[in-house]
Amino acid sequence: MKLDIRGIGWVTPLGIGSGQPDETFGLGPGRLAALKSRLFLETAHPRFGRFDLYAKAGFGAVALALRSAGWERWSRKRAIGLVVGTRRGCLEADWAYYKTAACHGGALASPNLFAYTLPGTMLGEASIQFGLTGPSFVIDDSDGHLAGIHAGLDLIRWGLCDKVAAGWCDVDSKLLDARPDEPCGAVFFLLTKGSDAASWQWNGRELTHGTERVGDLASLAHAVLDDRRPDA
């Protein structure tokens, strides 16, 4: 299947971006800076303060990817899918919630925190914010950097939707040590079926750009950004 990658958004320890000329993409381990909804939206999000870091990073990267594609604003809901690959998911939200439930016989359990103990809640928040009615789910994968993107591409190839915001999101957890050099953050791409002239191709196993196989997240992001350069 030929495809187009219409947008990119990222939130990593090295910065945030939506593919603008003055931005530099970087992926790596470390801690994310404090995230506010105004970094990603024109007006403050009413629930952003409740989000755990996983949800903030993922939501932010989806928002930036939509902005990058020029699809941020909407008046009618759109059949755009949302898929994310993750390893740790919302583990920190799980623990934050359970600390409220594990004392006083559960009488003080927080319903607001509980709502974010599903890794898909972040996708639900993005679907509400941007009016996205396509398929939405999380891929839990031990090496999930490209798993969500591949699953998003499959949704298009299998005819389950025409456009997908697909990506990866993983953040630090005090409960579960990251692997050495394991990156942290979120990166999303806006994927659509492409014309015959499109340079991207997905065959269900391999993603290629021209004749080059793209086998990791950083290479994918750099190739998308190279394509977007005015002189490309």
Binding range to another protein, per CB under 8 A, among 12-20, 132-140, 190-198, 216-224:
132-140
Binding range to another protein, per CB under 8 A, among 60-68, 151-159, 186-194, 214-222:
151-159
| Residue 137 binding another protein, by CB under 8 A | yes
Query: Which amino acid belongs to residue 102?
Result: A
Question: Looking at 34, 43, 107, 232, which residue binds another protein (CB under 8 A)?
Answer: 107
Question: Looking at 95, 198, 201, 208, which residue binds another protein (CB under 8 A)?
Answer: 95
Q: Min. distance of Cβ 175 from another protein in angstroms?
A: 5
DSSP structure class, residue 132:
B
Alpha carbons 201 and 230: distance in angstroms, whole number: 22
* x-or-dash string of contact with another protein, 7-46, rule CB under 8 A: ----------------------------------------
- Number of residues interacting with another protein: please give it, by CB under 8 A: 57
| Residue 183 binding another protein, by CB under 8 A | no
Query: Which amino acid belongs to residue 25?
Result: F
| Residue 109 binding another protein, by CB under 8 A | yes
Question: Looking at 39, 41, 157, 198, which residue binds another protein (CB under 8 A)?
Answer: 157
Other beta carbons less than 10 A from residue 182's beta carbon: 14
* Backbone φ and ψ of 111, nearest 5°: -65, -30
Q: Could you tell me the two tokens for 90?
A: 């919302």
| Residue 79 binding another protein, by CB under 8 A | yes
Contact in structure between 130 and 66 (CB atoms under 8 Å): yes
The 3-state DSSP class for residue 10 equals: strand
Alpha carbons 71 and 188: distance in angstroms, whole number: 14
Binding range to another protein, per CB under 8 A, among 32-40, 59-67, 143-151, 178-186:
143-151
| Residue 94 binding another protein, by CB under 8 A | yes
- Residue 105 — left, alpha, or beta (φ > 0 → left; ψ -120 to 50 → alpha)? left
Q: Apex CA 13: angle with CA 8 and CA 17, to 5°? A: 25
Residues 188-217 that bind another protein (CB under 8 A): 204
Q: Which residue, 91 or 214, has its beta carbon nearer to another protein?
A: 91
Measuring CA to CA, which residue among 4, 82, 73, 11 is closest to residue 42? 73
**How far is C-alpha 19 from the geometric centre of its chain's CA atoms?**
15
Residues that bind another protein (CB under 8 A): 47, 77, 79, 82, 87-89, 91, 94-95, 97-99, 101-102, 104-107, 109-111, 114-115, 117-121, 123-125, 127-128, 130-142, 144, 147, 151, 154, 157-158, 160, 175-176, 204
